[in-house]
Structures are given as structure tokens and as C-alpha cells.
Amino acid sequence: MQKQLNILKIMRNLSVILIFFVIISSPIAQEHTIINGYRGNINTIAFSPDGKTIAGGDENGNLIFTDISTMTKIHSLETGSNITCINYSSASLDVVAYTTYDGEVNVLKASSKEVLRNFKKDGNIYCAVFSPDGKQLAIAYTREPTEKEQDKGIRLNFIVDLHETGKFEKTKTLRLSKPHDPDGELFGAKLFESYRYNSFSCDYNNTASYLASGSMGKNIAIYSFEYGKFAPVYKGHSGRVTFVTFSPDGNYLCSTSKDETAKLWNINSGGSIITLKGHTGTINSASFSPDSKYVATVSNDETVKIWDVKTSALIKTLNGLNGEVITVKFSPDGTYLAASGTNEKILLWKTSEILP
């Protein structure tokens, strides 16, 4: 009898140990830091070039700068407008640009909130990104078509304006809408979808020789600065492209889509090299690690997924975000991964604890 009791006791202990290991190995159990203070969907986040500060903007116009080492708020702005994008200039630790859905571009000194430049676009702005050398700012926005444009079959204008960053004067306009395209125009969908999250994005490659743009259509445009024209469009998604980003080494472009997939494109060959499948909802954004070995994707399925770029293997799934995830970023030094969305919080993980 005593022997049977001992066996039962051992089995109970083994069960407790097993449950413990299941819990700590669960994606939900991954330790993270939470940054609060936002009111509404957090549409955009950005790390400062030195990785010491993270900025976030929400749909109600709250822009907050947080010191990562102390997890304390440095300062904040209440803009009163839906903030759609924040990006630092990699050429300066102190220059940041943010955009609002109602058409404003603001360039600030991050340390003091001093406004260096403010201007408007006649439309809805979704993205503003600096070139790697900080000499150019690309602004992606939409504008309603004129009567003549409507007669040509254009239902919505997708435009990227390029501004030099001395006086922020416009130097070039890239018009991306194409009438009567079989895919529903080059960018404009046959049935226009109202703004939600990252609806129109653009990004420079590491040498600023290319600018990629993705939006409410299925295709991706690549503009070549060397040749002064667009390359053939990248086709492959079956749903609207939500986001595009180049890898830091310039070898890959990652696109995310409403079709619940992300694609990695080989920039040298111009072909899709892999489709990343695993999400069960629209993928809203992606971010490469600084060494270009990994890419993180976020989705309406409330998860963050991290993939190995070379093997396309799924490395990690982070759960427990309790809401659709809109945006994701690796810090420039590779120390942190941050994600945010409809739960009104920024979640911050140490990459040493989630990557191989």
C-alpha cells in the first residue's frame, strides 16, 4: 500500500513539473514590458536611432516619447488628430516626423518638441519616411480624383511626394494610380476601403536607390532613382497590400497583405522568394531585425510572429496582446522588439529572450 502511495505521489509531482514547463514554454508566458498612457488604437511606433527612446502615436492624437531604460515618459503631445505614422531621421538622434490622417506633416526636435517644419497635403496622409542619409522625406497620401481623372477611370489618387530636408521643399511627385488596371488600378481598389491602420506605406532601401510603395491594391511599385522610372510591379498577393519594408542589408523587401500572408522578395531578381503563412487574419505590418536575419509580422489574429529570413521557418509566436496588432518594430541596436495595436499599449520584449 505504501508503495502505491509513493507512486501516486511521484506521478503528482511529475504532473506539476509538466504543467510548469507547459506554462513557461507557452507564447503567452513570454515576459514583456508594457508602456501605457495611450487612448485608442496605437497606429505607429518608432525607436530613436540610438535605441534609447520609443515614440508612439494613437488614433486620438496622443504622441508619447518614452525612455526605455527607465520606462518613464519623457514628454507627450496632444495633437487632436489621428496619428498615422512616426519615423525618426537616421541621420539625427533628434529629428522625428509624424503625420496625421487629416493631411498634416510635422517635423520635430524629439528632445524639446520644437516644431521644425509643418505643412499640409490635400488629402489623407498614411506614411512619411526619411531616406537613409536623412536628406529626403517621402510622404504617401491619397487624394480624391478630379472630374477629368474620374473620366479616365481613376477612383482614388495614390501619391508619394518627395521633399528635400533642408527647407522641406517638394522635389518630385510620384503618381501611382493607374486607370482601368485589371487588378483594380495599380493601387486603388475597385471598391475603396476606408482608412484602417497601415493603408498606404512606402520605404527606401539601404542605399536610397529604390523606393517601394504598397497600398490598397494587390501590387507593389518599385521606383528606381537611378533610372528615374518605375520598375515592373511586383505581383503575387491575392489581397490588398498593407505594408512594405526593406531589410537593412538591402537584399529583401517584405510585403504584408489582407490575404493573411507576408512575402519576401529578392531585390536583385525582382521575384518572390518565399511566402510566409501562419497568420489567420490580415497582416498589418512587418519589421526586419538589424542584422536582416529575422522578420517580425503582426496581424489582426492578435499575434506577433518572428520568421527566419533564410529558411522561412517560424521561430516564435507571441500571444497575449488582447487585441488586433497594428504595428511592430525592432530597435536599431536589436535589443528590443515592440508591438502595439487596439489594446492601447506598447508591448516591449528583449530579443535575447525570444530569439534563438
In a shared domain, residues 25 and 137: no
- Taking a C-beta distance cutoff of 8 angstroms, is the pair 134, 122 a contact? no
Which residues fall within 8 angstroms of residue 25, CB to CB, at 6 or more apart?
none
Same domain as 249, residue 283: yes
Q: Could you read off the pLDDT of 221-253 as tens digits, one per residue?
A: 999 999 999 988 898 999 888 999 999 999 999
112 and 231 co-located in one domain: yes
Tens digits of residue pLDDT in 77-110: 999 999 999 999 999 989 999 999 999 999 999 9
Predicted pLDDT at 110: 95
| pLDDT for 136 beyond 50 | yes
Task: Identify the pLDDT of residue 199.
Answer: 63
Residue 173 has pLDDT above 90, yes or no: yes
Q: Cell for 283? A: 497582416
> Are residues 239 and 213 part of one domain?
yes
Q: Which CATH number is 285's domain given?
A: 2.130.10.10
**C-alpha cell read off for 187:** 493601387
**Predicted TM-score of the model (pTM):** 0.87
pLDDT at 100: 95
Q: Is 101 helix (H, G, I), strand (E, B) or coil?
A: coil
215 with 241: CB under 8 angstroms? yes
123 with 1, same domain: the answer is no
Q: What backbone phi and psi angles, to 5 degrees, belong to 44?
A: -155, 140
Of the pLDDT bands very low, low, confident and very high (cuts 50, 70, 90), residue 180 is low
Identify the domain containing residue 20 by its residue range: 1-30
Mean pLDDT over 117-141 rounds to 95
CA angle in degrees (0–180, nearest 5) for 91-211-99: 65
Residues 174, 72, single domain; the answer is yes
Residue 351 has pLDDT above 50, yes or no: yes
pLDDT for residue 142: 86
Domain count, the chain: 2
Residue 175: pLDDT band with limits 50, 70, 90:
confident
Residues 22 and 130 in one domain: no
Q: Is the per-residue pLDDT at 190 higher than 70?
A: no
Looking at the structure, tell me whether residues 158 and 10 fall in a common domain. Answer: no
